[in-house]
Structure 1
């Protein structure tokens, strides 16, 4: 989880390859209307996000119910969003890819082919972000190179697996 441009897709794919788990990019589950809204530079409302979050919650539920491990990237900027994803999914573990605006902005600007490109939207995400507590998620510093961030995520996932 984290704001746009923090590396969720890059790190999620790399982590998926290392673990041999399926990777799901949460962005592909947004409705066409929400994607169009974000392309126009309009922030999504809680109402806009509800169906998306419910779809992700069901995906997580299905994976856990089937005993499958998976990596799913999504922003989940607010505590209420994370609570919805956890509903019925007590085995869900969150990694928060944490970085400041000055670290993320250059990365955000370099992205190609993504519908979320307006810098004002990134600013809005930082204002919306309710950083998770240590009980909610494991924070991972994204300032090192992607390979090191992925290794930190891998270590956290292996700790989760060992503890459960």
Structure 2
């Protein structure tokens, strides 16, 4: 996207833990020349403690987190931005879309074995690999009426980011 082109969209890089949201989201924001926000930074301490103890979050835990992400999204509408967020359920994505109706979702998706291997290799993150199953169970894939695209997580971060860029709306 050139400086003369229209404003970059606000993009949510979504998927289960270990799918590469933070890495790909940061690369995407860099390529688009827009701010990046890490969804984990919006979690209250109680959520991090709960997940660190191996317990999945429930909707009551997620509500203030989603609200904080939605505020960030609303502040960047019209300017562009990229935020990572699991956004596993349609109702969570709908909540985020309330902040910016033109929000675009990039779902990083791949084989469970690959995601599990990435989680096992990840250091210093509060999300234990044992919660992958609960995230996969909760995942509601993008529906045809949702603005977004699925991106394969096969290959390296640069390759994934290139595929993601190619899928963004013009």
SS at match of 2:28: helix
RMSD of aligned Cα (Å)? 1.1
Q: Which residue of 2 aligns with 1:156?
A: 167
What residue in structure 2 maps to residue 75 of structure 1? Answer: 86
Per-residue CA deviation, residues 26-69 of structure 1 (Å, 9 max, x unaligned), is 010000000000000000001100000011111111111xx211
Distance 1:16 1:152 in 2: 14
**Counterpart check, 1:97 vs 2:89:** no
Matched residue, 2:154: 143
* Whole-angstrom CA distance in 2 between matches of 1:135 and 1:111: 34
Number of corresponding residues = 156
Gap regions ≥5 residues in structure 2: 1-13
* Correspondence for 1:126: 136
Asked if 1:52 is matched to 2:65, the reply is yes
Q: Secondary structure at the match of 1:94?
A: strand
SS of aligned partner of 2:56: coil
SS in 1 for 2:100: coil
TM-score by length of 2: 0.88
Which consecutive aligned stretches of 4+ in structure 1 deviate over 2 angstroms post-superposition? none
Work out whether 1:28 is the aligned partner of 2:38: no
Normalized per residue, the structure richer in helix is 1
Please, which runs of 5 or more residues in structure 1 have no aligned partner?
A: none
* Partner-residue secondary structure (3-state), 1:147: helix
